Amino acid sequence: MDVLDASRWQFAITTVYHFLFVPLTIGLSFLVAGMQSAWVRTNDERWLKLTKLFGKLFLINFAMGVVTGIVQEFQFGMNWSAYSTYVGDVFGAPLAIEGLAAFFLESTFLGLWIFGWDKLPRRVHLACIWIAAFGTALSAYFILVANSFMQWPTGHTLNNDRVELVDFAALLGNKVALITLPHTLAAVFLTSGAFMLAVAMWHLMRHHRGDDTQSPTDTDPTAEKAWRSAAKIGAVTVLVASVAVVVTGDIQGKIMTETQPMKMAAAEALYETEQPAAFSILTIGSLDGTEEVWSITVPGLLSFLGTGSFDGEVLGINDVNASYQDKYGPGDYRPNIPLTYWSFRAMIGLGIAATGVALLALWTLRRGRTPSNRWLRRLMVVSPLLPLAATAFGWIFTETGRQPWIVFTLLKTEDGVSPSVSFAEIMTSLIGFTTLYAVLAVVEIGLLLRYAKAGLPTEPATY
Amino acid sequence: MDLPTVWFVLIAVLWTGYFVLEGFDFGVGTLMGVIGRDNPTRATMMGTIGPVWDGNEVWLIVAGGATFAAFPAWYATLFSGFYLPLLVILIALIVRAVGIEYRHKRDDIAWQRRWDACIIAGSILPSFLWGVAFANLTAGVPINADGNYAGTVFDLLGGYALLGGLTTLALFTTHGAVFLALKTTDPLRTTARRTAVRLGVVTIVAAAAFLTWTAFKHANPASIALSITAAVALVAAVALVAAGREGWSFSATTVTITAVVAALFTALFPDVMPSTIDSAYSLTVAGTASSPYTLKIMTIVAAIFTPVVLLYQGWTYWVFRKRLTAPRQADAHT
């Protein structure tokens, strides 16, 4: 391991960890805002209680999203100073605008929302959570603009060994950003819907069986109704979001094939150009193009994913590599194939599994029924991990599929590291962050479970 | 004024905003270890900064992002050069933020004590290290011909830098004590006021030494005038808080912090990071600035959003303007 490897590991760990909190933060802010709106409109206590509970879970999660986000911003300069100097003129702008235009909104209005329950008029207080929710989505947009520049640089020119911005609209309107935003937001709602579904189903099933004796909501006759509403909202959110994930993912695949053919070929471990190209659901083999022991394939599916036609041509890794060598000089332009192949499948498979759980939950709740199966309850508890893992694998695929580039076609990852930082320094921070993040994960999950288990507040409590 | 200079000023403004705002919430966090004797008092102390600290911290995120966007080469050299101090600051900010959010989430005294320790350490360390970082920034550090930091972490811990750290720690803590006096009722108010006066005297000594040293290192009429302003405002702040005029005193500590940051940035200009190896290697405003186009876009964005941000953040302080009363131990919900 050297400075480059250690920096990459640190970036991977801190980014994946940060993005465990982001989906719940964005999605729950909207779901909570929606439930609070229902309360303001109907005056039904049930919505207020759900708002308070999921609001609390949201805030536990939000805190972690914020602190891990600061690390993301700082480590560009700390670990990737050559990259920062090279792209700062373009990349810094969306980052700074995110802070100024979006993150200030989130933090300030969330503070108002948390502490403003009895200080602000009802509708003003409701507006605060909506503004905060809007802020989280706006944050996502600017961060994805920055990331998309690394995937598909637009709006820039090369000048004196750095890239400079020449067209701000082209940067903001980068087609990769425009499709990544809805895909990410759809995944965000899938995740937060699954989370809400899990919490609600667990309580509903316990409540129904009569073993909800630990919770004060046991005596509350409206609790079952509230949990049922929450479960349905969660399940429907997952289902609608999963359709959006598929539709946007499909468009994204086509844009990816056009902009980053190597990434698409790596997603399938497709070494030779094929027409039509099949998609393999599973492959047992070495994934280096030499041997394939066993695989299940769907003919023409990769062609469809990449080109929109079942007999379209999909370029293979070897051909793309050869064309990159012609264009960018000798070298190996292949990403880590097993990693891209399996992360791509994990993303899709786990997303489908989460959708299946939501369908199952809705089915068991039909016409006022409540399931009591113990295995179903266990499945419900672990189900939010499915979309969380799916989004993590999605990012691993996106980021590792771009390698060896840090900015696609412009700068190699190895040329982006900080020249003045020692291996010992990076290892110190790598170990420091990993340890700290592990401890915080235990604390955070403990708190989430604690509050999720405690259930609905018995009285309108303040935060 | 050309655009790079405008952005140099804006970066200074952002850091000023950060130190003025997060300065007092660092101060309150630090004071939890000094005057937060019992749990209800600590809960009230946290209550004074609860609604606003998160918004305050965003000033840092924007200052960092704006430096990245407006002066990429400065951002790169500064953040990679000050690697270990920044790492400590980051870890401190993480445990502090999580502590503030999580301490009241469980009704368990051991749990709360542990987070209190995180909040206290997480407030002291950044208060000190930001001073160290800014003193080094002003004094210059070893920067080589490639524009990279060429020293070790020990080069960042000289006498001048440590005095800088001590000054910001003392200053932020005093600022926090005045804020606490402003935001609470007796008996916490009296305690905070008394603490502010005592700390204020220490701060006057530290700041006087630091600013005098700065003047000798980088004599520049504007920065000397600002240093004198800072000193006068600080003395006034201590006198005002002693007289029970907490609002005015808080304004005075705000002026002090603003003047200190302005003095350091004025002493720095037109460099952004002087090199102690050879002044030819120093990073300058002009040499590290982004392209005119980027700066123009950023200026427009800043001109639109900065007033809006100030407006709604100001409104937050207005909404939570009431003084807080610490519940007595007996009837306290911790």
Question: Is A202 inside a domain boundary?
Answer: no
Question: Is A285 inside a domain boundary?
Answer: no
Question: Is B314 inside a domain boundary?
Answer: no
Chain segment B305-333, per-residue pLDDT in tens: 999 999 999 998 888 888 888 775 544 44
Q: Where are the beta strands (DSSP E) in A221-287?
A: 279-285
Q: Is the pLDDT of residue A218 over 60?
A: no
Mean pLDDT of A339-353: 91
Which residues is A157 bridged to in the sheet?
A164
> Among partner residues A59, A78, A166, which is closest to B293 by beta-carbon distance?
A166
* Cβ neighbours of B94 in A, within 8 Å: 67-68, 70-71, 436, 440
pLDDT at A266: 86
* Cβ neighbours of B58 in A, within 8 Å: 99, 103-104, 107-108
Question: Sorting pLDDT into bands at 50, 70 and 90, what band is A258?
Answer: confident
How far apart CA A154 and CA A169 sit, in angstroms, is 9
**CATH, residue B37:** 1.20.1630
Work out how many CB contacts closer than 8 A connect A with B: 220
pLDDT at B332: 42
In this prediction the ipTM stands at 0.88
CB–CB of B80 and A420 under 8 A? yes
Which tokens sit at A153? Answer: 């640089």
How far apart CA A82 and CA A70 sit, in angstroms, is 20
Question: Is A299 inside a domain boundary?
Answer: no
Question: Is A283 inside a domain boundary?
Answer: no
Question: Is B322 inside a domain boundary?
Answer: no
Mean pLDDT of A233-255: 92
Neighbours of A148 (CB within 10 A): 25
For tokens 């959006």, what's the residue? A244
CA separation, residue B315 to residues A111, A127, B304, B312 (Å):
12, 14, 18, 5
* Cβ neighbours of A115 in B, within 8 Å: 50-51, 320
Q: Is the pLDDT of residue A450 over 50?
A: yes
Q: Picking from A52-61, A132-141, B169-178, B317-326, which range would have the lowest pLDDT averaged per residue?
A: B317-326
CA separation, residue B21 to residues A96, A107, A129, B254, B282 (Å):
19, 14, 23, 9, 31
How far apart CA A303 and CA A314 sit, in angstroms, is 6
Closest CA to B150 of B284, B278, B288: B278
Question: Is A24 inside a domain boundary?
Answer: yes
> Among partner residues A98, A105, A428, which is closest to B87 by beta-carbon distance?
A428
Chain segment B227-265, per-residue pLDDT in tens: 899 999 999 999 999 898 999 999 999 999 999 999 999
pLDDT at A381: 86
Return mean pLDDT, chain A: 88
DSSP symbols for A137-188 = HHHHHHHHHHHHHHHS--SEEEETTEEEES-HHHHHT-HHHHHHHHHHHHHH
Q: Where are the beta strands (DSSP E) in chain B?
A: 271-273, 283-284
Counted domains in chain B: 1
Question: Sorting pLDDT into bands at 50, 70 and 90, what band is B8?
Answer: very high
Counted domains in chain A: 1
pLDDT at B334: 38
Residues in Cβ contact with A422 at an 8 Å cutoff, skipping those fewer than 6 apart: A3
pLDDT at A219: 55
Question: Is A131 inside a domain boundary?
Answer: yes
Residues in Cβ contact with A455 at an 8 Å cutoff, skipping those fewer than 6 apart: A53, A203, A212, A215, A216, A217, A223
Q: Is the pLDDT of residue A204 over 70?
A: yes
pLDDT at A373: 77
Residues in Cβ contact with B258 at an 8 Å cutoff, skipping those fewer than 6 apart: B16, B20
Chain segment B74-91, per-residue pLDDT in tens: 999 999 999 999 999 999
Whether the Cβ atoms of residue A53 and residue A455 lie closer than 8 Å to each other: yes
Mean pLDDT of A123-135: 95
How far apart CA B80 and CA A77 sit, in angstroms, is 6
Neighbours of A187 (CB within 10 A): 29
Question: Sorting pLDDT into bands at 50, 70 and 90, what band is B166?
Answer: very high
Question: Sorting pLDDT into bands at 50, 70 and 90, what band is A290?
Answer: low
Radius of gyration of chain A (CA): 23
How far apart CA A225 and CA B285 sit, in angstroms, is 63
Q: Is the pLDDT of residue A288 over 70?
A: no
Which tokens sit at A335? Answer: 């990403």
Question: Is B132 inside a domain boundary?
Answer: yes
Q: Picking from A271-280, A420-429, A448-457, B24-33, which range would have the lowest pLDDT averaged per residue?
A: A271-280
Which residues is A407 bridged to in the sheet?
A411
Question: Is B303 inside a domain boundary?
Answer: no
Q: For residues A446, A447, A448 and A450, what is the CA-based torsion angle, rounded to 10 degrees? A: 90
Which residues is A296 bridged to in the sheet?
A282
Domain that holds residue B161: 3-293
Q: Picking from A270-279, A333-342, B60-69, which range would have the lowest pLDDT averaged per residue?
A: A270-279
Mean pLDDT of A345-353: 92
Q: Is the pLDDT of residue B55 over 70?
A: yes
Question: Is B302 inside a domain boundary?
Answer: no
Q: Is the pLDDT of residue B115 over 50?
A: yes
Residue B291 DSSP SS3: coil
Return mean pLDDT, chain B: 90
How far apart CA A270 and CA A320 sit, in angstroms, is 11
Radius of gyration of chain B (CA): 20
Q: Is the pLDDT of residue B23 over 70?
A: yes
Domain that holds residue A48: 1-173+434-456
How far apart CA A285 and CA A283 sit, in angstroms, is 6
Percent of chain A with pLDDT over 70: 94
Interface of B with A in 201-230 (CB under 8 A): none
Q: How far is B6 from chain A (nearest CA, A)?
A: 16
For tokens 């966007």, what's the residue? B69
What's the first-to-final CA gap in chain B, in angstroms?
Answer: 54
DSSP symbols for A423-435 = HHHHHHHHHHHHH
> Among partner residues B50, B69, B84, which is closest to A115 by beta-carbon distance?
B50
